[in-house]
Chain A
Amino acid sequence: MLWLFALIAGVLFGLYYGLAALGLNLIFGVMRMVNLAHGDVIMLGGFAAVLLFDHFGVNPLITVLLVIPPSLLVGYLTYYLLGRRVQRSRDPEMMSLVMFFGVSQVIEAVAVIAFGNNEASITSAVFGTRPFSIAGQGVPGAWLVSAGVGLVALVLLFLYLYRTSLGRATRAIMSSPDEARAVGVNPDRISALTFGIGVGLAAIAGILSLFMIGGTTPSEGVDLTVTAFAVIVLGGLGSPMGTFLGGIVFGLALMFTQTYAPVWSGFAPFAILLVIMLLRPTGLLGRTVRSV
Chain B
Amino acid sequence: MSSVAQRLREGAGAVGRRPRRQMVGDVLLVVVPPAGFLVASLVYNNQLLLLTMMVYVALAQGLNVIFGFTGYLPFGYVGFFGAGAYGTALSVHFLHAPIALAVLLGGLAGLLVAALLSPLLRLTGAYFAIASLAAAEALYYLISNPQLTAVTNGPYGVNLASVYNSGAAYLAAVVLVGVAMLCVVWVRRSHFGMSLRAIRADPLAARLAGVNVVRARTFAWLISATLAGLAGAIYAWAVSVFYPEAVFDLSISVFAIVFALFGGVGTVLGPLLGAVILYGVYNYIGVSQPQDFQLIYGVLIVLIVLFLPNGLLSIRLRRLWRGR
Within 8 Å by CB, do A and B touch in the complex? yes
Give B residues with C-beta under 8 Å from A: 3, 73, 119-120, 122-127, 130-131, 133-135, 137-138, 141-142, 145-147, 199, 203-204, 207, 213, 250-251, 254, 257-258, 261-262, 292-295, 297-302, 304-306, 309-310, 314
Determine the chain B residues whose CB is within 8 A of the CB of A106 once the complex forms. 294-295, 298-299, 302
Please state if A270 and B134 are interface contacts (CB–CB under 8 Å): yes
A102-B302 contact given A93-B126, A94-B73, A230-B130, CB 8 Å threshold: yes
Convert A232-272 into 0s and 1s, putting 1 for each residue whose CB lies closer than 8 angstroms to a CB of B: 01000100000000000000000000000001101100110
Residue of A nearest to B135 (CB): A274
CA distance A272 to B207 in the complex (A): 32
CA distance A34 to B304 in the complex (A): 17
Determine the chain A residues whose CB is within 8 A of the CB of B73 once the complex forms. 94
Please state if A292 and B141 are interface contacts (CB–CB under 8 Å): no
Please state if A229 and B141 are interface contacts (CB–CB under 8 Å): no
Please state if B120 and A278 are interface contacts (CB–CB under 8 Å): yes
A98-B120 contact given A233-B126, A292-B203, CB 8 Å threshold: no
A283-B298 contact given A230-B134, A263-B147, A267-B142, CB 8 Å threshold: no
Please state if B301 and A99 are interface contacts (CB–CB under 8 Å): yes
Determine the chain B residues whose CB is within 8 A of the CB of A267 once the complex forms. 138, 141-142, 145
Q: List 19 A-B contacts (CB under 8 A).
A: A34-B126, A95-B261, A98-B261, A98-B301, A102-B300, A105-B298, A105-B301, A106-B294, A106-B298, A222-B250, A222-B251, A226-B133, A230-B130, A230-B134, A237-B126, A237-B127, A264-B145, A267-B141, A267-B145
Tally A residues with Cβ within 8 Å of B.
51
A102-B301 contact given A233-B126, A283-B127, CB 8 Å threshold: yes
A195 CB within 8 Å of chain B: no
A105-B295 contact given A90-B309, A98-B301, A99-B302, CB 8 Å threshold: yes
Choose among A28, A106, A107, A112 the residue with the greatest number of B CB atoms under 10 Å from its CB: A106
A105-B127 contact given A230-B134, A281-B122, CB 8 Å threshold: no
Please state if B298 and A102 are interface contacts (CB–CB under 8 Å): yes
Please state if A28 and B131 are interface contacts (CB–CB under 8 Å): no
Please state if A89 and B310 are interface contacts (CB–CB under 8 Å): yes
Determine the chain B residues whose CB is within 8 A of the CB of A82 once the complex forms. 302, 306
Determine the chain A residues whose CB is within 8 A of the CB of B262 once the complex forms. 98
Q: Which 5 A-B pairs have the closest CB atoms?
A: A105-B298, A102-B301, A89-B309, A106-B298, A109-B295
Please state if B298 and A99 are interface contacts (CB–CB under 8 Å): no
Residue of A nearest to B4 (CB): A90
Residue of A nearest to B307 (CB): A85
**CB of A281 to closest CB in B, whole Å:** 5
